[in-house]
Copies of this chain bind each other. A is one copy, B any other.
C-alpha cells in the first residue's frame, strides 16, 4: 500500500513541449544563414527555413489545466519575448 502511494507520488508530474517562433514579419538572420548554407550544399528545392527555440518542461502538478497555466506564465515571464515571438504549448504523453 505504501509502495503504491510512492508510485503515485512519482507519477505526479506532467510534461509539456513549448515551441517559440519568430513572428511572421520579423527577420530571421540565423535562419537565413542556415538556408543559404543548405542551398550552397546543393539542396535546390529548399524554399525557406526559419529557426526557433524548443523547450521540454516537466511540472510537479497533477492537474493538467493548472500545470498548463503555469507553463504559460513561465513563457510570458522569461522564455518568450512577446514583442517579436509567438509560442505554442503542447502536452506530451
Contact = CB atoms under 8 A, between A and B. Distances in A.
A73 B57 CA distance: 29
A45 interface: yes
Interface string A61-81: 100000000100110011100
Interface in A11-67: 13, 17, 19-21, 31, 34, 37-38, 41, 43, 45-61
Contact of A43 (B45, B48, B70): B70
Interface residues of A, number: 34
Nearest to A22: B56
Nearest to A19: B54
Given A45-B70, A46-B59, 10 more contacts: A17-B19, A19-B54, A31-B55, A34-B78, A37-B78, A45-B59, A46-B57, A46-B58, A49-B57, A50-B55
